[in-house]
Amino acid sequence: MVFPAAYVNFDLSPLKEFFYEITFTELTTKTLEVTVWDYDLGKSNDFIGGVSLGCHSQGEALQHWIDCLKNKGQKVERWHTLTNELPGSAVQE
């Protein structure tokens, strides 16, 4: 499922907070993929970067996901560096 967020006009550094209802059991099998795009009117949109959080992540992204699973019902905030690769494009099914 894809849930696009509204774009923010004239803001090169928007901070977004969103909530998604999911059961704890489902959370252990899902991946959250976040992509950031530069919207250009009349031109193609430019991919700025993305991050993927889930059980198949690595490094800090994986640790963040584990911390979320350990702290059910609590906000676990982290900053993530965006990569220039679309999330999920390197995942092998």
Where in the chain are the domains? 24-70
Query: What is the residue type of 82?
Result: L
Structure tokens at 13: 């550094």
- Quote the radius of gyration of the chain (alpha carbons, Å): 14
pTM of the full structure: 0.67
pLDDT band for position 62 (cuts 50, 70, 90): very high
- pLDDT greater at residue 80 or residue 27: 80
Give yes or no for a contact between 35 and 55, defined as CB atoms under 8 angstroms apart: no
Closest CA relative to residue 35, chosen from 80, 87, 77, 90: 87
Q: What pLDDT was estimated at residue 92? A: 41
Report the pLDDT value the prediction gives residue 91, as an integer from 0 to 100. 46
32, β-bridge pairs: 53
Instruction: Give pLDDT, residue 42.
Output: 83
More confident residue, 44 or 13: 44
Structure confidence at residue 87 (pLDDT): 66
The more confidently predicted of residues 67 and 42 is 67
Whole-angstrom distance, CA of residue 44 vs CA of residue 33: 21
Round to the nearest angstrom and report the end-to-end CA distance of the chain.
Answer: 17
> Which pLDDT score is estimated for 67?
93
